[in-house]
Structure formats: C-alpha cells, structure tokens
Amino acid sequence: MRAAHLFAAEWLKVRTLRSFRACAVAAVILAIGGAVLAGSAYTDPAFAEGLTARDAAADVFGWPSAVLRIPLLVLAVLVLGSEYAGGAIRVTFVAAPRRIEVLAAKALVVTVAVALLATLSLSLGYAAALPLLRRAGLTDVPLGTVLSLLGGEVGYCVLVGLFAYAVTLLVRNTAAGVALTLGVLLLLGLVLAVLDIWVRFDLTGLAFSAAASQVTTDPFSRALPVVVGWLAVPAVFGTLAVVRRDA
C-alpha cells in the first residue's frame, strides 16, 4: 500500500470515530468560550489598564489554547489507542505489514487533524472575542502579528498532539496515554520547579511544556533539543516495541 493510500485510510478511520467528532466539538466550544472569557475581562477598564492590543490578542489566543489542548491530546491518543483497545490494530497490520509506514501515516494524521482543529477553533474564538476587544479599544493589532500569535499556538498544539501520540505508541493504552501526557504537561513543570530549590539549578527548562513554548516562539532556541528528546524517546522505544512484538 502506498504512503498516500495509507494516509487516506488512516484519515478515514479517524474521521469515522465518534470520539473524533466529540473531541472536535469540544475543541471548538472550549476555544470560543476561552476567547470570549478573555475578551470579556478586558471590557473592564480597570483590568485592561496598561494593556496593549498585542497583549490582549495574545491572551485571546493563549487562554483558549490552554484548554483546547485537552480534547486535542485525547484525539491524538485515540488515533492509535482506539485500535489497540478494540484489537483492530491486528487487521491494520495484516492489510499493511510495513508497520513503521503505518505508524508514520498515523503521526501525519495526528499532525494534520490537530493543526486543522486548532486553527479552526482558535480562529473562531478570536472572531468571537473581537467585538469585546473592539469595545475595549484593543483591536489595533497588525494582521501579521495576529497570524504569528495564531501560528505559535497551533504549533504548540501540534507538538502536544505528537507527544501524546508518541506516549501512546509506547504504552499502547488509551487511558495510560492520556494520563501520562496530562501528567507531563500539567505536573512535571511544578515538580521541576520544586526540585530547583534542592539542586540550586534551573530545571524548569527541561519540562516539555516550557521547552515547547519556547520552540513555538523561537524554533532554533536551546529548547529545541529538549523538545526533540521528549518526542523521540517514547517514539523510538514505542516503534521498536511495535515492530518486534505481536500487536
């Protein structure tokens, strides 16, 4: 089966998942809700005092991005986890015996699906918040800056999706994939911040969330090897396990 056919087959499987539709709806609702909430806060002159239009736009993208990552990472986990849960992965590998190509096609599906949903959700959220920002006089932001802010948040969501997929590749379980990914995203930064006190060395930059945030604003920063490591370790060991063991 050619790569294009593999991608089309994996894309079809994802689109027909009920959970895909649920995650997509949740992503849109959370993004719009988060953006409107941020925009509403700035209609209060006391809250918006000293704030620039760019800062407000960054928050209107940042707040919803923080919450919509949860349905997006669940979606990324389900791309592989749902097949292991139902045993359909065996049928997949019978139809397409080249397992690495199958895994690559799934990773591409995760990238495309997360990027499209994040772009759509955040764009709708920004459009919903624009009247509120206009009322607060915080809309004087160049289009290029808006697109740059949107691109940064979409890039972060894609990195989160790929990390969730790589973790699921390693653990082969939907619940474990979601739990481990959320743990790394939400808790590891706090744990490293506490450890800083004991080792007297800045460890927070080693957290996936902090490193990914830096990479989305500066792709060639010193955080890039950290992000590559977080993605590569579970992906490599997970791929080896899939290739060498029975599904």
pLDDT of residue 31: 93
What are the pLDDT digits (tens) for 211-246?
Answer: 998 998 888 888 999 999 999 999 999 999 988 876
Q: What is the C-alpha to C-alpha distance for residues 208 and 170, in angstroms, rounded to an integer?
A: 17
Specify whether the CB–CB gap between 23 and 71 falls below 8 A.
yes
Contact 127, 57 (CB under 8 A): no
The two structure tokens encoding residue 234: 């579970």
Summarised one tens digit per residue, pLDDT across range 10-66 is 898 888 888 888 999 999 999 999 999 988 888 887 777 778 889 889 999 998 999
Encoding tokens for residue 177? 């994939």
- In this structure, the dihedral spanned by the alpha carbons of residues 189, 55, 72 and 159, taken in order and rounded to 10 degrees, is -60
Q: Residue 94 is encoded by which pair of tokens?
A: 């019978």
**Burial class of 34 by CB neighbour count within 10 A (0 to 12, 13 to 18, 19+):** buried
If you search the block for the tokens 């744990």, which residue do you land on? 191
Interval 85-120: pLDDT, tens: 888 888 888 888 889 999 999 999 999 999 999 999
Chain segment 59-89, per-residue pLDDT in tens:
999 989 999 999 999 999 999 988 888 888 8
